[in-house]
A and B are shown apart, each in its own frame.
Chain A
Amino acid sequence: MKKRIGVFGLLVALVATSALMAGTLPSAATGSGSAAAGTARTAATTIRIWADRDRKPAVTRVANQWASRRGVTVEVVEKEFGKIRDDLKTVRAENAPDVIVGAHDWTGQLAADGLVLPLFPKKASTAQVPGYALDAFSYGTTTKRLYGAPVAIENAGLVVNTRLARVPKNWADLEKQALAFKNKGDGRLAIAVQQGQDGDAYHMYPFFSGLCGYVFGKNKSGALNPKNIGLGNSKFLKNTALVDKWNRTGLINAKVNGDAARDAFLNGKAAFWVTGPWNIDTIVAKGIKFQVVQVPKIKCKSVPFLGAQGFMVTRFATTHGVTSAAKDLVSNYMLGSGPQVQLSVANGRYPANTKAGKAVKNKYLAQFGRAGQGGVPMPNIPQMGSVWSELGGAWVKATRGEGATKARAAFATAARNILNKIG
């Protein structure tokens, strides 16, 4: 009898401790299930936004201005930039964001996955946003749809150290000045543009487009066509003879990686640097006098790749019952000039909204904005993954100095490889 009470007491003690522990675990009892989460949210509407560390403060401020006017609350969750895209695929509905801040080149992947919602902003909202910025966030295999609201544009430009060189009048002038500068002493670079052994198709793009190269052609509806690879177009291949010349003269050198390019320019060992607005503060801090221009036209206009950042509405907004509010925030409010000016000031990028663009006070940022005119948004279709390494690799093969592959062969091979990879 005594023993039986002992066992019984043991069980009671066990159940009691188990229950006690369970109470301390996060949301154990309140539990999960999308239904529970859905109803809990309607009481006080909350829009959850995923933003990276750099953008979080400004996004929080701007989104709260909208929220207080609408009478809702906003919760901004910090995520590593790349994780915003990747975690969206695996996140549980109750922890998922309604809105994300992301890069335009995610659009194709996220739309193909079905994770983001198409947007149809009213005409008044898009009137001040240039077509190419909207294009950057548009995707579709047959018809294009808009999946995001662009708020910031960034692109590389040619940064000229005006104490060491003049702003080049044209390509020939740039080539002459750069080579003369390089030949003045050891360790000097003609044009500091970063590649490294893996290559860097992004920073090389102005030279690629300057030789009339393009990545993907477009179909009739204006959507990018992954079967039309512009690396192998005959006009470009003909112009690649110039690449062989640049390699011979050392105008461009694949062995210059990001660090080497930056160090050379900051230490006066290069007068020309192809880089983006993220380095403005570094150059200013060094006390270098500089001006930013577009790389001069070579055979075609040497436009840079454009990268746009913006807001997207996820499919979880529907699960959470906040679709209309999330769409109002993204495709109505965020396209306006007011919030874009604030984001631009905080994050040092050129705003997508043209009215906001006129309000940019930072002269270097404005110069970068002008250097991006006519630029090409990085293709946002998922097939772009096959292009980066091939295009970068072709440049490396063709400009690695002694023993370089003939540019024509390097790019033709890359074009064939990309077609094979896309399949």
Chain B
Amino acid sequence: MSTALPKPGAGGAAAAARSLPSRLMTAFSGPVGLAVKIVLLGIVNALALWAGVVLAGEGNWLAVGVLVLTTLAIDAIYLLRRGTLPLKFLIPGTIFLLAFQVVPIAYTINVAFTNYSTGHILSKSEAIEGINRNSLEPPADGKTYVMAPARDEDGELVLLLVDEADGSTFVGSPDGIEPLARETVRISPDGVIVDAHDYELVKGNALFTLDKELETYTVPTGGSSAIRPEGLEAALELKPSLRHDEAADTFTRVSDGQVFRDNGRGSFATAAGEELEPGWRTTIGLDNVRRVFQDPLVRDPFVRVFIWTLAFAVLTVGLSFFIGLFLAITLDKKIRFQRFYRTVLVVPYAIPAFLTILVWAGLLNDDFGVVNKLLHTSIPWLFDPTWAKVSVLLVALWLSFPYFFLVSLGALQSIPGELVEAARVDGAGAWQVFRKITLPLLLVAVAPLLIASFAFNFNNFNNIYLLTGGGPPSEDQSIAGATDILISYTYKLAFEAGKGQDYALAAAVSIFIFFIVATISGAAFWRSKALENVR
């Protein structure tokens, strides 16, 4: 064993210096280590400061508090010399766990209880602003004007207006509209007011500092109608079609007196269900979960899709494991060109999966694909519901067997040769050795990988979406195609059904999928523990 490790100045740690934690500890105790530590902590603090400023800008003080406390705690843990040793090793892992696992899951769960979807993106106050803006309509005989903002002698902002229909000229102010002698205003050939007597046109950058003022500038023309500027050169008469009652939190339609109330689901709606757009994002409780069970659109194909998903994941993992294992056993023996074969077999694994899938989609085309041409067949690879399932499986196998080939190859080499020899001596045949010795020992190492691969294939969106798009269309009246698995079906539900995009429903279904995968994987892990007794 090497003894060339430099002994640090700190006394008495020489024996422990060989273990990794101790080595790290000693590395960070010297003056150089201290400087490195300070710089690293400085980076953490700087990031926290930056995040804090951003959060404070949004007024999210709770988050700022949590951030400050966490950062101080991290500084303290790494600067204190005594009593925080276990934490020094736990903290990085914990932070990554929180950032990459807990936060996304918490966010998904949070979204599942909201109505986050098309039409429900804004906050309520922003939505009210939007409804008010949308409620402005030109009245039936509404006039349109060429407009120029100007200042009168007193420096007050007025609008110079030229009626687009008859060319008559006016000056508009918050007090109302007054006719103006036509010769007061000079209009260019392309219909823009370029000059005016008695008024000073607002020009250049001054025009843009007026933006907020112009936004709310109204020239009343009787009733609720008013002339409002539109852009910098036009104005028109507009009339609100809805009246907002802030105290009662309602909108009333002017034409028929219909009242729109907050329906608790992020919209102003009438009793009959007519809604105003835009709505806002709000918490709606268990509605999305309920939809999964009650909405026939979501519920009906669920069982069929679930069974196929399960079959797809199990078959992909099972078959690719056995193909991989078979090849690994074959190539475990000394044969000619062993290295060459091993390299070639890994190729499908080395090419980006999405590329492979797209290439396969072309190869499998029923009429024009290479596969049917080479085989002189006309198998409907992608157009028949059953064959499409076969195609999806084939491509999944192609992509995943090299992984199990590599893993099995490694695991086989770690099985002690004496065990196999001993079994041989005791009179076991090749098959018996494989079944009683090799496979159980192999499974100890590979079982967790099988479970992980199952979880991956259960949600193997790319393989389905890029190859068949979930198609061909199934004969039952549902939006799930013949090869849709739960996750691609969720995608269709959320983005290709109903009214635009329904992120909240997608989140709710994802939680279901999470529980299904977690349950199955958990059970499998529990079972695979029994395998460890083999050792």
Interface residues of A (CB under 8 A from B): 10, 13-14, 16-22, 24-25, 28-29, 31-33, 36, 42, 44-45, 70-72, 89, 108-109, 111-115, 117-125, 141, 143, 145, 197-199, 226, 253-257, 259-260, 315, 318, 321-325, 327-328, 331-332, 382-383, 385-386, 388-390, 393-394, 396-397, 400-401, 403, 405, 413, 416-417, 420-423
Contact = CB atoms under 8 A, between A and B. Distances in A.
Q: Is the interface of B mostly helix, strand, loop or mixed?
A: mixed
A118 B133 contact: yes
Shortest Cβ-Cβ A-B pairs, 3 listed: A114-B278, A17-B42, A21-B46
Interface in B203-220: 204-205, 207-212, 214-215
Given A114-B121, A403-B384, A323 B211 contact: yes
A71 B238 CA distance: 29
26 contacts: A21-B43, A21-B47, A22-B46, A25-B46, A32-B54, A32-B58, A33-B57, A72-B205, A89-B121, A113-B121, A114-B122, A114-B127, A118-B133, A120-B238, A124-B164, A198-B469, A198-B471, A256-B368, A318-B215, A322-B211, A385-B497, A386-B499, A396-B383, A421-B498, A423-B297, A423-B498
Contacts of B75: 14
Nearest to A318: B215
A253 B367 contact: yes
A322 B53 CA distance: 26
Contacts of B461: none
A397 B473 contact: yes
Contacts of A21: 42-43, 45-47
A300 to B, nearest CB: 25
Nearest to A114: B278
B382 A383 contact: no
B370 to A, nearest CB: 12
Contacts of A197: 382-383, 388, 468-469, 471-472
Contact of B38 (A14, A42, A145, A325): A14
A403 B388 CA distance: 15
Interface stretch (B15-23, B103-111, B224-232): B224-232
B277 interface: yes
B429 interface: no
Given A325-B211, A328-B231, A256 B367 contact: yes
Find the residue from A21, A325, A390 having the highest chain B CB count within 10 A. Answer: A21
A123 B53 CA distance: 47
Contacts of A118: 133-134, 136
A123 to B, nearest CB: 5
Interface in B9-52: 34, 38-39, 41-43, 45-47, 49-50
Given A18-B41, A324-B215, A386-B496, 13 more contacts: A21-B46, A22-B46, A42-B208, A111-B277, A112-B277, A113-B278, A124-B191, A197-B383, A322-B211, A331-B230, A382-B500, A416-B477, A421-B498
Contact of A323 (B45, B209, B215, B367): B215
A17 B37 CA distance: 11
Q: Is the interface of A mostly helix, strand, loop or mixed?
A: helix
B362 interface: yes
A318 B213 CA distance: 11
A324 B473 contact: no
Contact of B383 (A119, A125, A400, A423): A400
A18 B362 contact: no
A349 B377 CA distance: 43
A141 to B, nearest CB: 6
Contacts of A401: 367
Contacts of A198: 468-469, 471
Contact of B232 (A124, A332, A403): A332
Given A120-B236, A324-B229, A18 B297 contact: no
Nearest to B471: A197
Contacts of B481: 393
B176 interface: no
Given A109-B118, A198-B471, A315-B130, A386 B57 contact: no
A32 to B, nearest CB: 4
A24 B278 CA distance: 41
Contacts of A324: 207-208, 210-211, 214-215, 229, 231-232
